Structure 1
Amino acid sequence: MEKIRITISKDELKAFLTIPIKGALFPSREEILFGLRTAGIKQGVKLETLDEIARRKEPVYEALIAEGKPPVKGKDAQLVWEIPLKGHGDATKAEKDETARIDFKKALHFVPVQKHQVLARKIPAESGQNGLTVTGKEIPSWGRDIALPAGKNTEISEDGLELRAAITGSAYLQNGKVHVDKVLHIKGDVNYGTGNIKFTGPVIIEGDVRSGFKVEARDSIVINGNVEAAHIYSQQGDVTVKYGVVGKKRAKILAAGNFTCGFVQDATVGVRGDVMVSHYLINCNVSAGGRVIVKGKEGQIRGGSITSEKGIHAVTVGSDRNIYTELKIFSLAQNSSQKKLWELSRMRTDMALRLSTLEKRLKFLEIIKKQVKTISEEKIAEMEFIANEIKRLKARLMQLDDEEIVLQKEAAKERMLKEVVVEGSLFPNVHIDINGLGFHSDETLRSVKIYRFKDELIVESLKGTEDLNYDIFVPGSKT
C-alpha cells in the first residue's frame, strides 16, 4: 500500500496529503517532507498541519498540506476615444465579449478626420501582485489586454498604443472596427455653388439637391433634406432621402441597393432592392427588385406605375377620383425553390444515367463469372464496389423524390407570398398584374390582398375567416 499520496489542484494553488495507514508503519515527519519534495511541492507547506499529522499518526485523507498565493489582478487595458464616434461603447463591449451582438448599422456615424490623426488611444493593462503556485511557478497578474479596433485605412503606432487615420476622410464604426473612408460630406445644398457631384465613395448631403443637378456615387448616398428635379445614382449602395422628392416629372433615383424616403411625387425610381416610403407615392414610375412598401400614416400609392419583383404593400391605392394607378408584380428571376427543383431534376438525370451504366457493367461481370471458373480478385472487388454504389444511388434517388415533394410545396408558397396588400382602401380604376394575370378594380375594396394561385388571381380579405366581413373571390367570377 502506498504510504504517502500527494495530489495537486489543477491551478496548482493547493496540494493535498493522503496517508491511509496508522501506527508503527506511519511515516515520520522527514518522510512526509521528502514525499512533498518528490511531488514537486516547494512553496506554502503548512508546517503546523504537517507536525500535527506526524504526531497523531492517524490516517488522513486529502488534507490541505500546502497552499500557494493567488495573484491580485491588475487593471485591464482601456480605450480612450479621441473622436466623437457614436457607438464606441458598443465596440468596447464587443471587444470584451466576443458573443455580443451589436447592431452597428444603427450606430453608423461619420466624423471628418485628417491623415495621421489619432482616433483612439490604448491605456495599457497594469500588473498587480503576482501569485505563486505550490510548485514554485510565478502566476502573472496582468490585467486583460484589448486590441485597438483597427479597420480599413487606419494604422497602429509603433508602440502599439495609438490608432491613427491612414488617409484624410471620414471615420466611422462598423462591426466593432474603426474605418476611414474618403466620404464626400456636403455641408449645405447641391446647387450652383457645388456643381454636379460624382464621387468614388459614400456621399452625405446635409441640405437639398436642387433641380437640374446630379449626384452620382459608387457607394451609398444620404440626403438629409429634399430632392427636386434632380438625378441621384448609387452604383453599389443605398439612397436615403430624409424628407421627400418633388420631381416635377424630371427626377430620377437609381440605386443598386434600397431606396428610403419620406414621400415621392412625379419621379422615376429604379432600384435592385426595396423601396420604402413613409407617406406617399404620387404619379411615380417605380421599379424594384425587392418589395415596394408604403406604410406610413398616409401610406398612399396614387397614379403612375409601380413594378416589384417581390410584392407591394400600401395602406391606400388609387383615390376617390378614380385616378388610374397600375401595380405590377413581375419576377425576372425564378424563386429559390424553383431553382432547387431544376437542380434536383438535373441531379436525378445524372444519377439515373450512372445507375444504368453501373447495372449494365455489373450484369456483364456476372456473365463472365458464370462462364469462367475463376475470376480475379480485382474483378471481385469491382463487383462489390458496383453493387454498393447501385444500392447507394437507389437510396439517394428515393431521397430526391421526397425532397421534390417538399420543394414543390415551398415553390407554391413562394409564388403566393408575392402579393399586393392594401391595408385600407383599394379604389376603382386600379389595375393589378401579377406575372401576366390582370385584375382591374371597378369598385372600392377594403383591407384586401391579391395574389396568384396557379392560373388565377385571388382577392382575399385581410380580416380573419371568423370575421363577418371576410370575403375571398376570383375576379370576374364574383356574383
Structure 2
Amino acid sequence: MTTAEYLQTYLVVQQSQDKLTACIQFSIADENFACTQEQLEEFLRSHGIKHGFLQAEIDGIAKLPSRYFYRQTVVAQGEAPIHGEDGFIRFAYDMNEEAYRPVELEGGKIDFKEVAQLKNVKRGQLIAEKVKATPGKEGMAVTGEVIPCRNGKEAYFKIGKNVVQNQEQTALYAAIDGLISITDKSKINVFPVFEVNGDVDYKIGNIDFVGTVVIRGNVLTGFKVKASGDIRVVGGVEGAILESDGSIEVTGGVLASGKGYLKAGKNVKCSFIQDGNVSAAEDVLISQSIMHSQVRAGRNVICTGAKGLIVGGTVQAGDRVLARTIGNTMSTATVLEVGVRPELRSELMERRNQLKLLNANLDKTEKALALLDQLAAVGQLQPDRMAMRVKLGSTKRAAVIEIADNKDRILEIEKSLEDTERAKVDAVNVIYGGTKIVIGRYTRFIKDAAQRVSFRYAEGDIVMAPYV
C-alpha cells in the first residue's frame, strides 16, 4: 500500500466553495495512525491543495494525531482578493440638503433667522475634487489558482453651467461668482442668481449671496438680505435690512416702521418709502411717495410718478432732488439737502463733534500739566507724578496733531460745500411751507406754498426760479 493510499484510508480532504480554505477530517480514529509532515503535505498536493499550508497544524497532526481525531482541521488558507475602491467626487462644501436648519450660536442659543446656508463661491474658487479609484489586489486559492479582483471605477465630473475643470481634470472650479447647485443627472452648476419663490421669513431666513437675489414675495421685519449683485423684490419690504453692492429694486415699496434699512452700491428703485432709511451711492428713484423717511443718494433723488410726493423726514442728494409735490398743506417739517454727498455731510458733523471733544480733553490735559509743572518748579514732584507728567505730555502732543488733522479735514469738506453748481431742488407741481432747503452750506426755509419752482444757489444765497 502506498503512502497516499494509506492516508486515504484515514483522512478526508475538503475545500471550501470559495477555495480559500482546505480542511482535513479523520474518518477513522486509530491510535496506530502515523505519518510525517512531508507525507501529509504530499497527500494534500495529491488532492489539489498547493498553496497556503498552515505548517503548525500540519506538524501537529503528524506529531500528535489523536488531538485531531474528532474535529475538522484547517490545514491550508488562501488569500481573498481585495477589490479596489471606486473613485468619488469630494465637494469643498457640505452639499447635504439641510438648507433650512437654524444655526446654533455660542452658548447653545438658536438663531431662527439664520437658516439658509447658501453654497456661495467666487470665480476661480474650488468647488470639488476628484478622488481617484484604487486598484484591486488579486487573491490566491488553496489550489494555487489566481482569484481575480475588481478594480475601482473612476468617478467623473458631470459638468453643468459656469464651471471649469483643471488641465488634469481632477478638480472643478467656479467660472463666475454664484451659487453651487446640483441639478438633474447630478450636474454641478454655478448660478449667478438666487431665487426665493415666496416671502423671506423664518422658513428661508437671512440671505447672504455673492450674486443677484430675486425674491418673489415680501421681506418681513427683522430679516436681512445681502447680495454682491443686485436685489430684486417682487413684493414689499417691511422693517428689514437689504444691502447690495449693485442696485435694489422693490416693486411693492418699503413700509419700514422705522426699522431696518436699504443700502445700495448703485441705485434704489421702488414705488414708495414710508418710515424708512434708504441710501444709494448713485440715484434713488421713487414712483409714488417718500413719507417720513431718511433718504440719501450720491447723485439724485427722483420722485415723479403719478403722486410724486416727498413729505416729512430728511432727503439728501449730491446733485438734485426732484418731486411733483414737496411737503403738505399742514406744513409738515420736510428737509431737503443737496450739493454735497450725504456721507460727506455726515462726516462733517462727526468731525465737528470730535473736534469739540478733543479740545475739551486738551484743555483738561493742559490744566493738569500746568499743576504738575508748578510742583516740579518747587521740587515737590513725586516719582509717580513725574511718570504721569511724561504721559500727559505725550497725550497733549497726540491731541494737538489729531486736532490739526480734524481742522484740515473740516476745511476740506466745507470747501466742497461751496461747489454747488449742479445742486438744485425742483418742485414740478408745488412746494409747501414747512420745508427746509439746504444747498451746500446755505439754508432757506419755505414759508408759503409755491408752484412749479426750482431752487439753486446763486450769488451767496438760495434763489427760487420757475421750474422748466
TM over 0.5: no
Larger radius of gyration: 2
